[in-house]
Amino acid sequence: MSEQEPRTGHRPGASVGEPAGGRAEQAPGVRRDRDRDPGLAGDLARAFAGPGGTPAGRTRPGPDDEQLLAPAEALNAAAAPDAEISGAGVGEPPFGMARRLPGAPRPPGPVQSDTAAGPGPGTVGSTGADHSAVQLPPSPALVCDAGGVVVHTNAALRRLAGSADPTGMRLPQLLVGPDSDARLVRADRRLARVKVVRWNQPGDRTVVLLTPFPDAAPAPSDEAPALDLERATRSGTWTFDLQAGTLTRSEGLVELYRALGVRPDGPDGPIEGEQVERVCRMLRRGPEAAPEPTTAHSSEIRPEGGAVLSCRTRIDRTPGGAPLRLIGTVQDISDRRRAESRAQRSGQRFADLVAAITTGVAMLDGRGRIVDANPALCQLLDADLETLRGVPARSLSAEPGSDRRGGLPDWLRDPSHPEPTYRIEWLPLLRADGTRVDCEVVVNAAPSDDGRPFWLLVVTDVGERRRAADVLREADTVDPLTRLPNRAGLLELADRLLAGTDADRVAVVCGDVDDFSRVNTGLGHDAGDLLLIELAGRLQRELPYHCTAGRLSADEFAVVCADVDEVGGPQALAAVVAELLRGEVTVAGRPITLTASVGVAGRDAALTGPHADARGPRGDDLLRSAEVAVREAKQRGRGTVAVADRGAVAPARRQLELEAELRAAIEGDALRLEYQPVVAPDGTVLSAEALLRWSHPVHGEVSPGEFLPVAQRGGLQRELDLWVLRSAVTEAATWPRTGQAVAVAVNLAGLLPADPSFLADVTAIVEGAGLPWNQLVLELVETSLVALPRPALDAMSELVHRGVRFAVDDFGTGYSSLARLKELPAQTVKVDRAFVTGVGTDPADFALARAVVEVARAMGRKTVAEGVETAEQFHVLRGLGVDAFQGWLFARSLRPADLHRVLRGGGLPTPATSATPPEGTPNLW
């Protein structure tokens, strides 16, 4: 075959079935295109332009395609010398920008073509003619050569064709139908109705004029269903013409690449090139290596970005069996591969988990034989895995049992059983050496993939568990340091004794070593442990008969006595325990003198707890009562003994009950506030102090003197202060204004300036209520103001700068110094009622009250007298220079509605504004 046709470089849109260059010489015996299937031209046109006539796009190759279509190997079998890839990439014209596959050699054998393509536009063809010299009219027109190849077009035709240059295409690919009513195949896959007029020109050229019909709007594409199917299945197709060397992609494939962010065309060629090269290499090896016509070649493409594409390629052949083109189907299988990878990893994790767990696991097939086992089961049965495989389940059991039909033991249930997962508490199994091991077996019966039964066994050595349970039981009841019974062990013993016939003689003693921490601090914890061991030895050796000693906590011991009458009664027993826990003990060469506070409780002194039954108190009740007695003994002094009684134990229980109920009352907003006015000498209300009240749903009114200590011991003071402050400022914001603004005073005991969030909490509450800052007075007891750190003083100063006033409550009863008062940013000093009560009769009270007033005046502070109940007290205090007064003489605590009436009335009467009642009887004004 002659190879003398000229090269034309990048000739976009080379038609399928013609060489990329010029005219080829016909070799003898070569079959021409006219001998092929007459329907082939339409197929080739579609192969060139994609489904519906639209070429497909290209994207760059992925990371695994670096060697794709290497110049020496690319399409060595069947590509034409000017092989091209046609199809539109993103932003590319469909007929232009085609790129030749690198290094594609001519296929062996002659080129099968009955016509030769002419040169491209603006080029000199084989005849040496310059086709661009032909003057075309402004209407759509083109020039084609004798072979029907478009060699020149004008702008109007390119606009009609969809802004694409069809130069290089064969005319039958561009125009379909008779000239009188033809269809122009546009770049967007639509057909435009045109009338065609042809003029033959010198040099075997033809000028073709196209006149669009008025209804020349492109016809709907008949390939839309195929595109929708490709979109739905996330797939697309490509076609590679083996003679022309052109690669065409469907629109669905272009969209798929674009959606995945894949660039199908890169510097090394198209992404499909590796599959094309592989199939072409097989074709080149000859008919023996050529695959069957129905065989599809599969591969996977993994471009950058993590996508996985499946590429299946089949060979389309001519009726004579010659390879014509490759047709590939690309589908996005990323989700499938990720699911397979997850399943594989999950299966591997399961296998690793089964191999790692310390419990034996075995899998049985439908015949009840072991097919797999983990290392733990192999170790338990003392056999390797190969030995265990194939062993029937009935041979594992050390006890003879009945077999069901099929040789299965009776302890293997059928998967159809209502409870396919079950536990066998005890099943003796045989080891390889003939010994037996007692096991617990959990069985799960399920059908396998083939429908046959499948069993999963989880086998545990029960003997090991029992030994571990014994160790845990001892750890739960024995103190590891002293080897005495711990709290749980003592309670178990006490419960057992209280359930017997001599329950009335049972007593429990608690002993707490006084100031034991000094030993740990001074000599170290090792010395402290030695001391505890020595005390435990004393108790074990010297306690009376029927007495059992135990250790409750760090330095707290307890004794359970089965018959307290045998040792002289509870008091005598407590004295014996106290004597054993006191005295001098040498530890680490140093003598240490010890004392202990001891409490004892008998059955009659114990309060019945929530877990008691009809027989009376339990061991926990006696122990709690004895611990309450220990606290009472500590209050009396070191080394003392106390005997519990119901009167001493009841308050402790009442404390816990009130604490829980008070916490619920705070959370449920079940508290309320009343207010006691602070008045000037003329009765003007200057402020009102918020007083907390609690109406219990069962016990009625609970005194603040009862629940405030409960809040202090239970750690509820801060929550209580926040509730009072929030409620007080919210109500104060609604008080009527009849002249001077009335401030609200709030006592703080838990929310203190030293708290890091003090300033933020107060700010949030006051601003949330909308109360002016100058209507808030915060009262702090003297003891809470001792040695305040600088941040606390700064927080107080910031609030004072905003308008808040601070009052020092109960001044003179604490431990602060006058110098400390001078440093505090407080504007008011409250004279404690302890000085006010006897100010008119007791010279000492008078002197103290006068000293407080004079000191406050000297420091520029105002004074308020608390607890004023008589006119005499009022006149004396007024004579001392007290600025304001508070007490029952003026008003008791008022509910919010009553306070509103007082404020609207303009104030309260005082002895300075009204006649003094007889004997100064309070609350008559």
The DSSP code sequence of 793-823 is HHHHHHHHHHT-EEEEEEETSSS--HHHHHH
Beta bridge partners, 182, equal 194
The phi, psi pair for 664, rounded to 5°, reads: -65, -35
Provide the sign of the torsion angle of the four alpha carbons 758, 761, 764, 766, taken in this order: negative
Contacts of 9 (CB under 8 A, 6+ apart): 82, 120
Look at the block and give the residue holding tokens 């926040």: 722
CB 2 within 8 A of CB 106: no
Distance CA 867, CA 20 (A): 115
CB 12 within 8 A of CB 117: no
CB 852 within 8 A of CB 859: no
Provide the sign of the torsion angle of the four alpha carbons 655, 661, 666, 672, taken in this order: negative
Q: How many CB atoms lie within 10 A of CB 264?
A: 31
Kind of pairing between the strands at 828-831 and 862-865: parallel
SS3 726: helix
DSSP state of 785: G
Instruction: Count each helix (H run) and each strand (E run) in the chain, helices first.
Output: 26, 36
Look at the block and give the residue holding tokens 């478009």: 150
Please report the pLDDT score of residue 113 as a whole number. 32
Provide the sign of the torsion angle of the four alpha carbons 59, 63, 68, 71, taken in this order: positive
First and final C-alpha spacing in the chain:
134
Please report the pLDDT score of residue 37 as a whole number. 37
Beta bridge partners, 553, equal none
Distance CA 478, CA 534 (A): 17
CB 432 within 8 A of CB 408: no
- Segment 733-792, tens digit of pLDDT: 999 887 778 999 999 988 888 889 999 999 999 999 999 999 999 998 866 776 778 888
Lookup: tokens for 281:
């290499």
Residues of the chain with pLDDT under 70: 1-133, 163-164, 189, 215-224, 287-295, 347, 401-406, 464-470, 472, 474, 606-615, 647-653, 782-783, 786, 812-821, 914-925
Letter for the amino acid at 207?
A: V
Distance CA 259, CA 366 (A): 48
Lookup: tokens for 185:
């195949």
pTM equals: 0.44
Distance CA 829, CA 835 (A): 13
Letter for the amino acid at 889?
A: L
Kind of pairing between the strands at 743-748 and 685-696: parallel
Distance CA 527, CA 149 (A): 108
Please report the pLDDT score of residue 882 as a whole number. 92
Distance CA 237, CA 257 (A): 11
Please report the pLDDT score of residue 632 as a whole number. 86
User: Where do runs of H (alpha helix) occur along 555-671?
Assistant: 570-580, 619-636, 646-667
CB 208 within 8 A of CB 141: yes
Kind of pairing between the strands at 182-185 and 269-270: unpaired
Please report the pLDDT score of residue 817 as a whole number. 53
Distance CA 2, CA 27 (A): 8
Distance CA 427, CA 436 (A): 10
Letter for the amino acid at 878?
A: R
Helix pair angle (843-858, 871-880), 10° resolution: 40
- b/e map 636-674, b = 16+ CB within 10 Å: eeebbbbbbbeebbeebeeeeebbebbbebbeeeebebb
Distance CA 297, CA 327 (A): 10
Helix pair angle (646-667, 619-636), 10° resolution: 100
Residue by residue, DSSP assigns 136-189 as: PPSSSEEEE-TTSBEEEE-HHHHHHTTS---TTSBHHHHEES-GGGEEEE-TTS
User: Where do runs of H (alpha helix) occur along 668-789?
Assistant: 704-713, 717-732, 758-769
DSSP state of 415: T
Kind of pairing between the strands at 205-212 and 235-241: unpaired
Please report the pLDDT score of residue 224 as a whole number. 65
User: Where do runs of H (alpha helix) occur along 201-306?
Assistant: 224-233, 251-260, 273-284
Contacts of 152 (CB under 8 A, 6+ apart): 121, 122, 131, 132, 134, 136, 142, 143, 167
Distance CA 509, CA 502 (A): 17
Lookup: tokens for 773:
């800052």
Task: For residue 385, give the nearest of 413, 354, 362 by alpha carbon.
Answer: 362
Please report the pLDDT score of residue 744 as a whole number. 94
CB 903 within 8 A of CB 742: yes
Sheet containing strand 641-643, edge to edge, reads: 547-551, 556-561, 507-513, 596-602, 641-643
DSSP state of 503: G
The phi, psi pair for 172, rounded to 5°, reads: -65, -20
Distance CA 143, CA 287 (A): 43
